[in-house]
C-alpha cells in the first residue's frame, strides 16, 4: 500500500519543484527589469501616458501564417579562392607578399630566375630570322623556275621541287614565330602576378627553392564576394528545391540574417554522408563575412500557423525573456520562450502564452504598474491585519 503511493507523491513533489522554479525565474526576470537603471529616454517613455487616462497599450496574442523553417549548419566560403602555381622552371629569386597581405590584381607576387628563358627567347628570335631568310631565298628561286617553266625551258620536276621548297620555307617561318611566342610566354611566367585582388592566405615556397610547372606558390581569396556552403540531408532536398527560399543566419537567436538572392543545389548526393551541397549567394555578397565562419542556412519547408507578439512587448535580460499579461485589472509577469523573427516587428512565441492572451506593449511601464499593484496589495493586507 505504501509502495503504491510513493510514486504519486514523488511526482507531485517534482511538479511543485518545477512550478516553484518557473515562478522564481519569472520573479528574477521581473526583479531585474524593475531594478535595472533607467536611461533618460527610457524614463521619459515610462513617464509619458500611452493612452487616455494613462492606461497601458496592449495587444492580443494571435496566430498568423508564417514560413516554417529548418536550420542546418553551414560555413562561409569565398566565391573566388585559388592557389597560384608555377608555369615554368627556375630558382625563386624574390617573394613580394606574405600571409595576410592585401594584393591588387596584377601585382607581382613571385620572381623566378629567367636566365634560361631569356636564352630560349634569343634562340627563338634567331630561328625566326633564319627562317625568314630561307623564305626569301626559296621565294626568289620559285619565281625564277616559274618563269622558266612557263617558257617551257624548265622541266615540271624542277618546278615542283622549287614550289615545295617555297611552301616548306613558309611553314618554317610560321613554326619559328610560334616558337618565339612560346619563348616570350615562358619568359613572362618568371613573373608571377595576382589574378585578382584579394588576401594572401598561404605561402608555399621560400626564396632559393626551385620552382617547376605545377608547384604551388601562393594561395588567396577575393574578399568582395562570399557565399554560404550548407550540406542538406537528402530527404529535405525535394521541398527545398521546390520552395527555393532561404536565408543565412549569423547568430544563435536567429535574429541576425542575410537575405539570399539565389541558391545552387547540387544535382547529386555525397555517398559518404548522404547529404546534398547547397550554395547560398547573399544579396549583399556577404559583406563583412570571411571564409571559415560558422553560420546556419534557414530553409523554408512549409507554412504553418504560429503564435506571434510584437518584439517590443518582450522584456529581455540576458537569456531570459518574458511578457506582462493583463487579466482585467491584474498584471502578471510570464516567462516565455521566443523563436525566430517573423518580420513586421513580430516574433514567434514557442511557449508561455496562448492565443487570445492580452499583453502590454511597453514592458517598462508594465513593470512599474506591476510594482505599484503589489504595493497596493501589501498596503491593503497590512490595513486588514490592523
The pLDDT tens digits of the residues spanning 192-236 come to: 999 999 999 999 999 999 999 999 999 999 988 999 999 999 888
Number of domains in the chain: 1
Q: Answer yes or no: is 121 within a domain.
A: yes
Q: Answer yes or no: is 323 within a domain.
A: no
Q: Answer yes or no: is 247 within a domain.
A: no
Q: Answer yes or no: is 126 within a domain.
A: yes
Q: Answer yes or no: is 128 within a domain.
A: yes
CATH of the domain at 131: 1.10.287
Closest among 257, 276, 258, 256 to 266, alpha carbons compared: 276
Long-range contacts of range 121-124, CB-CB < 8 Å, 24 or more positions apart? 121/180, 121/183, 121/184, 121/186, 121/187, 123/183, 124/176, 124/179, 124/180, 124/182, 124/183, 124/184
Q: Answer yes or no: is 37 within a domain.
A: no
Q: Answer yes or no: is 168 within a domain.
A: yes
Least reliable range by pLDDT among 29-38, 230-239, 302-311, 373-382: 29-38
Domain that holds residue 185: 114-189
- 166: its cell numbers: 617555297
Residue 8: pLDDT band by 50, 70, 90 thresholds? very low
Q: Answer yes or no: is 166 within a domain.
A: yes
Supply the Cα-derived Rg of the chain in whole angstroms.
40
Most confident of 81-85, 155-159, 368-372, 377-381: 81-85
Residue 104 Cα distances to 96, 107, 195, 197, 348, angstroms = 12, 6, 9, 4, 46
**CA quadruple 285, 287, 291, 294: dihedral, nearest 10:** -100
- Which residues, listed in sequence order, are joined to residue 192 by a DSSP beta bridge? 110
Question: By three-state DSSP, how is residue 52 classified?
Answer: helix
Q: CB–CB of 373/326 below 8 Å?
A: no
Amino acid at each position: 500500500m505504501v509502495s503504491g503511493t510513493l510514486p504519486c507523491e514523488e511526482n507531485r513533489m517534482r511538479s511543485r519543484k518545477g512550478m516553484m522554479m518557473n515562478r522564481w525565474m519569472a520573479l528574477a526576470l521581473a526583479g531585474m527589469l524593475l531594478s535595472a537603471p533607467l536611461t533618460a529616454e527610457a524614463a521619459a517613455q515610462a513617464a509619458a501616458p500611452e493612452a487616455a487616462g494613462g492606461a497601458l497599450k496592449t495587444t492580443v496574442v494571435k496566430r498568423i501564417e508564417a514560413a516554417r523553417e529548418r536550420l542546418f549548419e553551414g560555413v562561409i566560403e569565398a566565391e573566388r579562392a585559388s592557389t597560384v602555381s608555377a608555369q615554368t622552371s627556375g630558382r625563386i629569386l624574390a617573394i613580394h607578399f606574405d600571409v595576410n597581405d592585401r594584393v591588387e590584381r596584377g601585382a607581382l607576387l613571385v620572381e623566378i630566375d629567367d636566365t634560361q628563358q631569356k636564352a630560349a627567347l634569343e634562340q627563338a628570335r634567331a630561328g625566326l630570322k633564319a627562317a625568314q631568310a630561307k623564305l626569301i631565298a626559296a621565294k626568289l628561286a620559285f619565281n625564277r623556275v616559274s618563269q622558266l617553266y612557263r617558257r617551257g625551258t624548265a622541266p615540271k620536276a624542277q618546278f615542283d621541287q622549287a614550289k615545295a621548297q617555297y611552301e616548306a620555307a613558309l611553314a618554317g617561318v610560321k613554326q619559328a614565330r610560334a616558337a618565339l611566342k612560346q619563348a616570350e610566354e615562358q619568359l613572362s611566367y618568371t613573373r608571377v602576378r595576382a589574378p585578382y585582388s584579394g588576401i594572401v592566405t598561404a605561402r608555399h615556397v621560400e626564396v632559393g627553392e626551385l620552382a617547376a610547372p605545377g608547384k604551388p606558390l601562393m594561395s588567396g581569396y577575393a574578399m568582395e564576394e562570399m557565399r554560404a556552403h550548407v550540406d542538406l540531408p537528402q530527404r529535405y532536398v525535394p521541398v527545398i528545391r521546390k520552395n527555393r527560399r532561404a536565408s543565412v543566419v549569423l547568430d544563435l537567436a536567429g535574429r541576425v540574417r542575410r537575405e539570399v538572392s539565389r541558391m545552387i543545389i547540387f544535382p547529386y548526393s555525397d555517398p559518404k554522408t548522404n547529404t546534398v551541397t547547397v550554395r547560398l549567394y547573399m544579396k549583399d555578397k556577404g559583406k563583412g563575412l570571411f571564409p571559415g565562419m560558422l553560420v546556419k542556412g534557414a530553409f523554408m519547408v512549409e507554412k504553418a500557423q504560429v503564435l506571434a507578439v510584437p518584439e517590443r512587448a518582450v522584456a529581455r535580460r540576458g537569456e531570459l525573456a518574458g511578457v506582462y499579461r493583463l487579466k482585467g485589472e491584474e498584471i502578471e509577469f510570464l516567462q516565455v520562450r521566443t523563436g525566430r523573427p517573423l518580420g513586421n516587428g513580430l516574433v514567434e512565441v514557442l511557449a508561455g502564452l496562448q492565443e487570445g492572451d492580452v499583453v502590454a506593449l511597453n514592458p517598462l511601464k508594465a513593470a512599474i504598474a506591476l510594482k505599484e499593484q503589489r504595493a497596493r496589495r501589501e498596503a491593503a493586507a497590512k490595513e486588514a491585519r490592523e
